[in-house]
């Protein structure tokens, strides 16, 4: 048996999504910028996909721009804030995804912006008083704080933060890559300048995402070229990716409560079984809390002989999970998120298990058997 418990890294493509994409990989291949019938057909489907996404999020289709994924959108929002909205100061947190943190660090190193990191409590929650202090004592600010943390599952109080940002006239972006398709959004109610998504996190294809840009923002091109995406992002559109992403989002929101319930019960089951098996297990960040991202459980196992090799040994036994966020080299470095909340513990393995609506209880049971076998070997006295 092979069990996949790394859905925060990526999710399997749903069959319904593949079916929706297929005609655009085969029969309908026209360039959407072409004026002939082939192009008009694909242009139409791109605009239909945009309308589908806008309807699901309750915003205008003109506020949705397609990108190559979450990373590009994180970078794009930051560039627009600096170049077009006159932000001179960025506030973010030390536990953001690298697509935000490294982009902000780079701009700060180049001397283009001042960078402040907001304080966290020991579970990784954002200190909102500190956020206010930073906003009160700085020039026009771009606040970028993720909706849910991909490693420890902490969820940001989005409305509260958006109110604070409004009070200080700050530009607000939230990386919603881990929550899009997993939580409902109403963009008529939420006061936010940007949020973004990546299709492969909700059973869509890889290499495609979108950014919501509030209509009040007048954004200039970030990638110049053929003027696609109403001039904001040049380059021939990822036609079948866009079609797949819209379908994937539609499927997520069609049965959202059912998916949520299913995944929540699996997470709770796994957590309580592990608690019983290992009384001194630690749940990192907020991940055991009911309010946390229901797809993520981050645990530190007791000291065992196998601690350093645990991820590798689980993989050999057929259980795929993660020791931090997946990075391009495939290596897992010590997690900057666990490090920032003081949760890196030597001699003990920290593992993120992440679930999707396709995960089954049998798979959790299989993983639990392997985990119990591997983590029950105590450290030998030397
Ligand atoms: N932001 C968050 C919170 C993520 O979890 C990820 C993916 O791991 C990204 C951004 C990057 O998205 P993409 O893989 O589409 O570039």
Other C-beta atoms closer than 10 Å to the C-beta of 167 total 11
222/275: higher pLDDT: 275
What is each CA distance from 231 to 39, 66, 85, 100, 103, in whole angstroms? Answer: 18, 12, 17, 23, 22
CA gyration radius, the chain:
21
Q: Which two tokens stand for residue 169?
A: 């006239």
Global confidence as pTM: 0.95
Report the nearest-CA residue for atom 9 of ligand 1: 70
What is the three-class DSSP state of 117?
strand
Helices (H), 65-201: 70-83, 98-109, 128-136, 158-167
Which pLDDT score is estimated for 234?
96
What is each CA distance from 288 to 170, 189, 337, in whole angstroms? Answer: 32, 29, 16
CA distance linking residue 93 with residue 128, whole number of Å: 12
Distance 257 CA to ligand 1 centre (A): 24
pLDDT classification of 89: cutoffs 50, 70, 90: very high
Contact between 63 and 212 (Cβ < 8 Å): yes
Which pLDDT score is estimated for 327?
41
3-11+256-375: in CATH 3.40.50.2300 = no
Ligand 1 nearest-atom number relative to CA 69:
15
- Average predicted confidence (pLDDT) for the chain: 95
CA distance linking residue 344 with residue 288, whole number of Å: 17
Lowest mean pLDDT among 83-92, 140-149, 340-349: 340-349
Is 59 a catalytic site residue? no
Nearest to 123 by CA among 164, 163, 155: 155
Query: Hey, which of 69, 93, 124, 204 would you mutate to test ligand 1's pocket, going by the most ligand atoms within 8 Å of its Cβ?
Result: 69
Provide mean pLDDT across the span 55-83.
98
Pocket of ligand 1 (CB under 6 A): 69-71, 74, 97, 99, 146, 150, 175, 177-178, 198, 209, 325
The catalytic residue among 59, 165, 252, 327 is 327
pLDDT digits (tens, 9 = 90+) for 111-161: 999 999 999 999 999 999 999 999 999 899 999 999 999 999 999 999 999
Lowest mean pLDDT among 114-123, 268-277, 290-299, 331-340: 331-340
Nearest to 112 by CA among 132, 86, 92: 86
Fold of 15-254: 3.40.640
CA distance linking residue 291 with residue 268, whole number of Å: 12
Contact between 232 and 221 (Cβ < 8 Å): yes
Contact between 374 and 306 (Cβ < 8 Å): yes
pLDDT digits (tens, 9 = 90+) for 309-339: 999 999 999 999 998 544 444 444 689 999 9
Distance 25 CA to ligand 1 centre (A): 25
Report the nearest-CA residue for atom 5 of ligand 1: 150
What is each CA distance from 121 to 86, 127, 341, in whole angstroms? Answer: 31, 7, 8
Residue ranges, comma separated, of all CATH 3.90.1150.10 domains in the chain are 3-11+256-375
CA distance linking residue 241 with residue 361, whole number of Å: 31
Partners of 155 in beta bridges: 148
Distance 198 CA to ligand 1 centre (A): 7
């Amino acid at each position: 048996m092979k069990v996949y418990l790394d859905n925060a890294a990526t999710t399997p493509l749903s069959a319904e999504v593949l079916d929706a994409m297929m005609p655009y990989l085969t029969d309908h291949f026209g360039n959407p910028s072409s004026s002939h019938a082939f192009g008009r057909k694909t242009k139409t489907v791109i605009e239909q996909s945009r309308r589908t996404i806008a309807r699901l999020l309750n915003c205008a289709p003109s506020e949705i721009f397609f990108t190559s994924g979450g990373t590009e959108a994180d970078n794009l929002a930051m560039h627009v804030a600096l170049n077009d909205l006159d932000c001179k100061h960025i506030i973010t947190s030390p536990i953001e995804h690298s697509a935000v943190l490294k982009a902000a660090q780079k701009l700060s190193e180049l001397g283009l912006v001042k960078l402040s990191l907001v304080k966290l409590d020991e579970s990784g929650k954002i200190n909102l008083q500190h956020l206010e202090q930073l906003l009160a004592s700085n020039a026009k600010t771009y606040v970028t704080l993720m909706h849910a943390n991909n490693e420890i599952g902490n969820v940001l109080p989005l409305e509260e933060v958006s109110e604070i940002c409004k009070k200080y006239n700050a530009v607000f972006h939230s990386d919603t890559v881990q929550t899009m398709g997993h939580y409902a959004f109403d963009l008529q109610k939420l006061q936010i300048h940007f949020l973004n998504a990546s299709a492969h996190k909700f059973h869509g294809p890889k290499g495609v995402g979108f950014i919501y840009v509030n209509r009040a923002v007048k954004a200039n091109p970030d990638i110049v070229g053929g003027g696609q995406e109403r001039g904001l992002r040049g380059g021939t559109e990822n036609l079948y990716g866009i079609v797949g992403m819209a379908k994937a989002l539609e499927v997520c929101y069609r049965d959202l409560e059912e998916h949520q319930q299913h995944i929540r019960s699996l997470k709770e089951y796994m957590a309580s079984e592990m608690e019983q098996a290992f009384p001194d297990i630690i749940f990192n960040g907020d991940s055991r809390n009911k309010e946390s991202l229901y797809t993520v459980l981050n645990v530190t196992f007791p000291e065992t002989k196998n601690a350093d090799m645990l991820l590798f040994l689980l993989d050999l036994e057929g259980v795929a999970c993660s020791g931090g966020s997946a990075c391009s080299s495939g290596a897992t470095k010590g997690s900057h998120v666990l490090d920032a909340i003081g949760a890196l513990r030597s001699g003990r393995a920290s593992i993120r298990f992440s679930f999707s609506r396709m995960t089954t209880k049998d798979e959790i049971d299989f993983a639990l058997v392997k985990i119990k076998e591997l983590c029950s070997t105590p450290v030998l006295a030397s």
